[in-house]
Amino acid sequence: MTATSKKTVLEREESRIWLLTLLAGIIGLAAGLIAFALYHLIGLITNVFYYQKPSFSFASPEFNNLGVLAIAVPAVGGLLAGLMIKFGSTKITGHGIPETMEAVLLNRSKVEPKVGVLKALSAAVTIGSGQPFGAEGPIIQTGGAFGSFVGQTISMTGSERKILLASGAAAGMAAIFGTPIAAVLLAVELLLFEFRAKSLVPVAIASAIGAWLHIYLISPQPLFQTPSYSFGGLDSLPFYVALGLICGVLGSGLTKGLYRTERLLGKARLGQPWLPALGGLAVGAIGLAAPQVLGVGYNVIAGVLNGQYVLDLVVLLIVAKSVAWLVAMGSQTSGGTLAPLFIIGSSIGYLFGSWAVSADVGLGVVPAVFAVAGMAAVFGTASRAPLTSIVFALEVTKDYQGVLPVVVTVVIAELVGEALMDESIMTERLAGRGLRVRNFYEYNPLRQVRIKTLMSSPAQSVDAEEKAAVLRRQMSSSDHPFRLRKRLVVVREGRPIGVIEGDDINQPAADPQSVTVGEVCGKSFEQVSQDEFAYEGLRTMALRGVSFLVVVDSEGKLVGYLSQGDLMRVLKRKIEDETIVEGPRYGPAASAGPQGSG
């Protein structure tokens, strides 16, 4: 960075929002079309496998007439997906979102284009063949891969590429479900890990375009159409709290169960493509007894939310879908997790709601209202994305009058999940690789404070024309300000040209009486503008491997000196706020004095 730059780094970053927004719009359109294609490709494969007809209309495997032959269909899908994994890319294994998070956190948001293509194809095959997955995880990974590809064709930072990746992921989810706000929140909670306009605006634009395409290409109606429910008054609150406790335990159990199943099946040492085929065979056997578990099951979710199933079938759904999903996903194949969690969550909510209504006949609600809250709570617990799950449940059903019950249920479930799990279904695999991912959306004080307010000023400097011999005497004099100084900034007409170290000034010269400081000083140093924020100082120190910076004004003249200690003082107040425990200032306990520190 030059001293005469008219914009700070932060200002230049924010000015890029226009380019990122334009690119995000293009990515949103493309990701939406990809989601549309994936949606109908799943329909085609389902119709071919289960109904022997070449139709792109979205269909459920539930109503097939194959009989015992239906057991083999998911196994064939697992085998084909396993071949893609073995000979294409192992990165398409899993449910998509953790793999996308890994690209963001460990690979500067770089995803190979073939990963996006293979993920979409493999997921279409597994879902179309009846395996109990959703399309949302794969389209999130595929849309993210396209955003990353665009970001790799243009010169930009890793942070900017992350925004484009998140834009593609959000647009894909919005195009599948028609939930633009929930898609933005999912991108924030699981991919961006930040709240700022530079990130939110492009992602929101892409998500809105994806939702627009959902309306025009898939359906203008909510994905899960439900009647207008009454969610009850304050007397129903304890029941939603109880449901939150149950969903928190269930979501935690499913999360732990998934990774234990993966480890257990991994001991079979079958590998690709045989392990996914074996998992598919197990799904086929379960599907023969409970065909409702096959495929994405959007019609099943709608049925539960509308109260169309008897309780015995709801219990069967909970058990059969859980086992089928755990076995299938644990077999190292390709699919998504959101739809299975929605089925299980809505079913447990409906089951609990049936009990609640029978226990309190004056409650004034129907069991299906608890299904909406349960759907959000189980997903929110397993994914550690409570904001996404709350808004998703409201957007996908348009039951906005349920906002308070849904919030209560999800928050209680989240608290239970925090107590029972160290990691979520999205982060467990990353944790196994030594990476801890937590949702800390905290402000960074280094981004709030300008360097001119914390630098050491004025900086100790010496003119470049000063004789080296004179400076040597000054630095050794007991009464001179330069005494024992390890480092001085060398200036010419007020502008820094180098840094003089103690070792530099003591070097012998051919003519020690005539050599100047400017001739012996080190010319390698880093400088920063006083108008930059402290974070730019930290960034420069980290990237350049230096422990200090020379600070200049808009004209390039020396005004100060920035050290690591100066940056630490900025962080000191924040650390104190989080660490020091103070006694009450007012009230009866105020006279007791300070309470100590943590």
pLDDT of residue 246: 96
Give CA–CA dist 549/539, Å, rounded. Answer: 11
Max mean pLDDT range (26-30, 461-465, 532-536): 26-30
pLDDT of residue 1: 43
Give CA–CA dist 126/131, Å, rounded. Answer: 5
The two tokens of residue 598 are: 């943590």
pLDDT of residue 427: 77
For the cut 60, the answer to whether the pLDDT of residue 595 exceeds it is no
Lowest mean pLDDT among 314-318, 380-384, 584-588: 584-588
> What is the H or E stretch that residue 463 is in?
strand 461-463
pLDDT level of residue 391 (50, 70, 90 thresholds):
very high
pLDDT of residue 50: 93
Is the distance from CB of 245 to CB of 416 less than 8 angstroms? Answer: yes
Q: Are strands 527-529 and 461-463 parallel, antiparallel or unpaired?
A: unpaired
For the cut 70, the answer to whether the pLDDT of residue 485 exceeds it is no
Q: Which residue has the tokens 């077999």?
A: 331
Tell me what the mean pLDDT of segment 25-29 comes to: 95
Higher pLDDT, 194 or 218: 218
Tell me what the mean pLDDT of segment 338-344 comes to: 90
Tell me what the mean pLDDT of segment 548-574 comes to: 86
For the cut 70, the answer to whether the pLDDT of residue 266 exceeds it is yes
DSSP annotation string for 498-542: EEEEHHHHTS--SSTTT-BHHHHSB----EEETTSBHHHHHHHHH
pLDDT of residue 513: 66
Lowest mean pLDDT among 57-71, 227-241, 495-509: 495-509
Interval 517-555: pLDDT, tens: 778 777 888 888 888 888 888 888 888 888 888 899 888
Higher pLDDT, 502 or 115: 115
Instruction: Tell the CATH topology of 445-577.
Output: CBS-domain (3.10.580)
Tell me what the mean pLDDT of segment 96-102 comes to: 77
For the cut 70, the answer to whether the pLDDT of residue 502 exceeds it is no
Higher pLDDT, 536 or 352: 352
Long-range contacts of 397-402 (CB under 8 A, 24+ apart): 397/222, 397/224, 397/225, 397/226, 397/305, 397/372, 398/222, 398/226, 399/226, 399/228, 399/229, 399/231, 399/372, 401/228, 401/229, 401/230, 401/231, 402/229, 402/231, 402/369, 402/372, 402/373
pLDDT of residue 12: 65
pLDDT of residue 28: 94
pLDDT of residue 2: 43
Tell me what the mean pLDDT of segment 329-341 comes to: 86
pLDDT level of residue 344 (50, 70, 90 thresholds):
very high
Percent of the chain's residues with pLDDT above 90: 32
As its CATH architecture, domain 14-218 has Orthogonal Bundle (1.10)
Give CA–CA dist 186/209, Å, rounded. Answer: 16
Interval 145-197: pLDDT, tens: 899 999 888 888 888 888 999 999 999 999 988 999 999 998 888 888 777 77
Please state the pTM of the whole predicted model: 0.78
What letter represents residue 442's amino acid? Answer: E
Tell me what the mean pLDDT of segment 104-125 comes to: 85
DSSP SS3 for 144: helix
Tell me the pLDDT of the chain averaged across its residues.
Answer: 84
pLDDT of residue 4: 40
Lowest mean pLDDT among 41-55, 160-174, 356-370, 463-477: 463-477
Which of these, 341, 267, 330, 261, lies nearest to 304 by C-alpha position?
341
The CATH number that domain 234-273+280-432 falls under is 1.10.3080.10
Lowest mean pLDDT among 145-149, 177-181, 262-266, 509-513: 509-513
Q: What are phi and psi of 169, to 5 degrees?
A: -65, -45
pLDDT of residue 533: 83
Lowest mean pLDDT among 27-36, 167-176, 258-267: 258-267
Same fold, 14-218 and 445-577: no
The two tokens of residue 62 are: 């539930």
pLDDT of residue 9: 60
Where in the chain are the domains?
14-218, 234-273+280-432, 445-577
